[in-house]
Amino acid sequence: MMIQISKVVAGTMSWGSWGQNFSKTEMADLMSFCVEHGIHTFDHADIYGHYTTEEAFGNAFEISGLRREDIQLISKCGIKLVSPNRDHVLKHYDYRKQHIISSCETSLSNLKTDYLDLFLLHRPSPLMQTDEIAEAISTLLSQRKIRSFGLSNFTHMQTELIRSKIPVLYNQISFSTTHHQAMLDGSLDYMQVHQIRPMAWAPLGSHFQKEPNDPKALFIKKMAKNYNTTEDVILYHWILKHPAQIIPVFGSTNKERILNLTKNLDLQLTQEDWFAIWENEMGYEVH
């Protein structure tokens, strides 16, 4: 089933040892801050922080004062990362039934919860067996260990392969002004046809990696000034305006930026400005 997800989702990849390395208290505080300002969905993956961030988040959740029904938890499985916390020696993908189930159960234990609101396969594998995946997901759904199922980084044909065996409700993909191929290759069209909700990781793309005097960067800066807001808000709203109802997954842990985003969630880009931003990034006018 489709679940209630906040308009933008808090990505937790940098909350732990892969980024800010927050203490339990700091993590609980940021979690509560997000919920207080309307962001109640948190995106995880088993591998984040070399398999440590989910547990850190779960420990923080226990002291946060939040109720489980106050938040939605998303996690992913399938990548086997080379890590001091695992015994495999080669990065690879694993979508065998038992691995999917045990990965989910480990995430539940780490996050101190008895269900995930959404469970995603992290990246497609050439060796994935759709019948085995469907059996694993059906088991988890029937046991109420997950509430809904989706994919991450799957093309529309790979998605079609999976959904031939089991319904797919979400697909988390790379999408931004600087990485907009999904809008051109049929991926977003496919998701709309099949009522699959897209989520966008890295929604700011490579915009903030540009030189300050880059003409494309200056254009977005000017656009933000015209709307009396910030560049990141403009980039998020470029995504939010798409009819596929894309959900951005933001990675910032800066409270000021989070507050600025939530205060500006009702902003509406004009249609011409949306096309102007796209034209700016492509470097030529639409055909």
Please state, in angstroms and rounded to a whole number, the distance separating the CA atoms of residues 86 and 250: 28
Query: With left for phi above 0 and alpha for psi between -120 and 50, is residue 114 left, alpha or beta?
Result: alpha
Please state, in angstroms and rounded to a whole number, the distance separating the CA atoms of residues 96 and 94: 6
Please count the CA atoms within 13 angstroms of the CA of 147 that sit on its side-chain side.
Answer: 15
Please state, in angstroms and rounded to a whole number, the distance separating the CA atoms of residues 99 and 267: 43
The structure tokens listed for 277 are: 């931003």
Burial class (CB in 10 A: 0-12, 13-18, 19+), 126: exposed
Per residue in 209-227, is it b (16+ CB within 10 Å) or e — as a string?
Answer: eeeeeeebbeebeebbeeb
Catalytic residue positions, numbered: 48
